[in-house]
Amino acid sequence: MEKVVFKRPKYMKKAPFHYCPGCGHSIIHRLMAEVIEELGIGEKTIGVPPAGCAVLAYDYFDIDMGEAPHGRGAALATGVKRILPDRIVFSYQGDGDIAAIGTAETIHAANRGENITVIFVNNSCYGMTGGQMAPTTLLGQNSTTTPGGRDKDRDGAPIDLSEMLAITRGAVYIERTAVNSIKNIRKTKKAITKAFKVQMAGLGFSLIEILSPCPTNWKMSPVDACKWIDEDVMQTFPLKVIKDETG
Amino acid sequence: MDKKLLMRGSQVIGETAIRAGCRFYAGYPITPQNELPEFMSGAMADLEDGTFIQAESELAAINMVLGASMAGARAMTSSSSPGISLKQEGISFLAASELPAVIVNTMRGGPGLGNIAPSQGDYFQATRGGGHGDYRTIVLAPAHGQELADLTEKAFEYADRYRTPVMILADGMMGQMMEPVVLPDPINLAELPPKPWVLDGADGRPGRLIKSLILNTMEMEEHNWKLARKYEIISREIAAAETYMTEDARFVVIAYGTAARIAKGGIKRAREMGLKVGLLRPVTLYPFPERVIREMSRSVKDFLVFEMNTGQMLDDVKLSLEGRSTVHFYGRPGGVVSTPDEIAKVISSLYYRQHLEED
Amino acid sequence: MTTKTKKGRIVIDSKLCKGCYFCMSVCPNELIVISTESNEKGYYPARFTETKDEKDRKCTGCAMCAVICPDIAIEVYRG
């Protein structure tokens, strides 16, 4: 008797993704939808999509979604969660959104220990606007605003937002993962599951930073983009549990 | 309960907000309105279901309000001029996403950091939407303690009814002054009309979406017109103005808020001198009570716009009159507070210059 | 005693596939190839080379292709 062992998760609408070939966003969307289904929280989860490529996340998740202005995901999610403390609230943000224009909102939400989960997608560039330098762009990495590659003296060095957040007292669980290989995708799903569980247990702020390929703006094939994450991106942003105070 | 209480203006706003069902407040300290967040911190702590957050920034505060509003709460934030500029991003998103919220602007002198004295320099910003894009914000302009209560109550009602941000445009003078007020009875939150658009988890229904991104130009245009039609309805339904001694007036002062209050004193003095002078005070600045002004132009050929700025509402008065009468202007920007005597002098000099004393 | 290895099968939705070929890069038995015909969007979708009735099928239904597929274009069956 043949069984279906892999299919579209319940909370992911059957809509074709608008993302470029090989983009990590939709892998992350799917993992989140799987976790939401497995934890049985689809009917009480409220998502906050960002400005950026993932703004259209609301077209794919079959749950309540409220769009945030650029960078304000953590503040908006705070407002939702404080009014509905028994719901599960997540904010989904890119690197420019969370680590440049929304740094203040993110740090203070973490520091207050807001009981929300943040999914931070790090693809080391501004994807939607066409590949400009992001706060996470690697030194030497080309972008449309760093001719000749990002230069520390001229452009500043990449920012370790997750590590910065870890020193806030309200942050409970912070992990950096990637979606560039089967192994890393499985680890990412585990990390997302743990982050949601932290929130369900009311422990405080959780954040998963996910290294994600952007083949279009990196000007690489999707397979090469995944290799580049292994070989280069992880040198700057090593995969690890950055903070775990879940006891 | 119509017991008169002696209360400071900022407390009146805060206490009325709570009675009107406000259960979420987020704000950032800025003078001259700190008494309001201070009051809200205590009042929310006394409520089982109240939330007060001292936000890290004005931007964070308005976006927390955006979130609380999406989740169905009656939510409020407050600030003063420079802080309101920072909130404009969120106000534009509230308007675009059709979300209710109340924003209190206790205006101070500007532009820039300006000063902390009472001013009316934010009229344009408030009545023209303030943030980016094609939208308006309902703007209510209280002039005294009792009206702070009445209009705060109305602000929450209008915000929910029209699903749009409402601004209470006050100034430091109103916030500080202690006056006797009768507060409204607390509402029963359970009796408010349901909000079928709220994000509270897709339990037994499809997922809901609140957003402002509309990439399709035809759909965006339709959304713009939808908002415009809503503003037309708002204009028809809530435009309000107070008139004072206008029945036989040959000369009418148009002023709002604190300026109107000072003007009233000036008009009393002018009346004592035998001048037929009245006051028209817009209570809603958006929608602007243009019909009342236009109708008054049948009998009044001289208007004096008095503002605590260099002439902003002046534009709306001229647009309302469409050239039917002469419009004079007297302005004291920068946080300078005129006296009734000063206004009486301005009135009388214009009155005689225009030969209005002759029948 | 014989161990009966379970057979697997995948179905690729060629309309959803954008031709990133992640699936090809992870298939342990190299059972996925690039299609010679493009789909509606102009991508050359991935194509699974085994058929249901084939003898000696190699696909185990490990689902790695589906796990890495960014477009949820792959369904996996086993048994």
Query: What integer pLDDT is reported at residue A102 of this predicted model?
Result: 98
| pLDDT of residue C2 exceeding 60 | no
* CATH for A159: 3.40.50.970
Give the pair of three-digit tokens for residue A146: 């760093």
pLDDT at C53: 80
Contact between chains at A3 and C78 (C-beta distance less than 8 A): yes
CA–CA separation, A54 and A67 (whole Å) = 10
Q: Average pLDDT over chain B, rounded to whole?
A: 97
The residue that leads in pLDDT, A78 or C53, is A78
Residue ranges matching CATH 3.40.50.920 in chain B: 241-353
Is C42 an 8 Å CB contact of chain A?
Answer: no
Q: Which fold has domain B241-353?
A: Rossmann fold (3.40.50)
**What's the mean pLDDT in B239-267?**
98
**Is residue B358 scored above 80 in pLDDT?**
no
ipTM above 0.90, yes or no: yes
Confidence (pLDDT) at B359: 56
Across B43-88, where does the E strand assignment appear? 51-54, 74-79
**What does the pLDDT look like over A94-146, one tens digit per residue?**
999 999 999 999 999 999 999 999 999 999 999 999 999 999 999 999 999 99
Best of B22, B28, B63, B89 to disrupt the A interface (most A CBs within 10 Å) is B63
Residue A88 lies in a domain: yes
Check whether B268 has a pLDDT greater than 80. yes
Is the CB of residue A17 less than 8 Å away from at least one CB of chain C? yes
A179, part of any domain: yes
pLDDT at position B355 is 85
The tens digit of pLDDT for each residue in A68-96 reads 999 999 999 999 999 999 999 999 999 99
The pair of three-digit structure tokens given for residue A96, joined into one six-digit string: 């420019």
Interface test with C, best of A3, A4, A5 (most C CBs within 10 A): A5
Instruction: Mark whether C and B touch (3+ CB pairs within 8 Å).
Output: no
Residue A118 backbone class (left: φ over 0; alpha: ψ -120 to 50; beta: rest): beta
The residue among A69, A26, A72 whose CA lies nearest residue A210 is A26
At residue A1, the pLDDT reads: 78
Q: Which of A21, A182, A185 sits opposite C19 (nearest CB)?
A: A21
CATH of range C8-78; options 1.10.630.10, 3.30.70.20, 3.40.50.2300, 1.10.3720.10: 3.30.70.20
Q: Which of A168-172, C7-11, C50-54 has the lowest mean pLDDT?
A: C50-54
List beta partners, residue C76.
A6, C10
> A1 lies in a domain?
no
Q: Which one of A62, A66, A105 has the shortest CB-CB distance to B70? A: A66
The percent of residues in chain A predicted with pLDDT above 70, rounded, is: 100
Say how many CA atoms lie within 13 Å of A53 toward its Cβ.
Answer: 29
Domain boundaries, position A240: 25-244
* Each residue's pLDDT tens digit, B117-174: 999 999 999 999 999 999 999 999 999 999 999 999 999 999 999 999 999 999 989 9
Alpha carbon of A114: minimum distance to chain B alpha carbons (Å):
11
| Res. C4 pLDDT band, cuts 50 70 90 | low
Identity of the residue in A45, A62, A72 whose CB atom sits nearest the CB atom of B63: A72
CB contact under 8 A, A222 and C22: yes
pLDDT of residue A2: 87
Contact residues for C74 (Cβ-Cβ < 8 A; gap 6+): A6, C10, C11, C12, C13, C23, C65, C66
The predicted-structure confidence for A164-186, as pLDDT tens digits, reads as follows 999 999 999 999 999 999 999 99
Query: Which of A188, A244, A191 is CA-nearest to residue A212?
Result: A188
Q: Residues of B near A (CB-CB distance < 8 A)?
A: 23-24, 26, 51, 53, 55-57, 59-61, 63-73, 75, 89-90, 93, 97, 199-204, 206-213
End-to-end Cα, chain B, rounded Å: 49
Encode pLDDT of A2-30 as tens digits: 899 999 999 999 999 999 999 999 999 99
Name every residue whose Cβ is closer than 8 Å to that of residue B342 and which is 6 or more positions away in sequence. Answer: B266
Whether A61 sits inside 8 A of B207 (CB atoms) is yes
Residue of A nearest to B91 (CA): A69
Are the beta carbons of B93 and A69 separated by less than 8 Å?
yes
Q: What's the rounded Cα separation, in Å, for the pair B223 and B217?
A: 10
Longest dimension (CA), chain B: 75
Average pLDDT over residues C17-24: 97
Q: What is the 8-class DSSP label of residue A97? A: I
CATH number of the domain at B4-238, please?
3.40.50.970
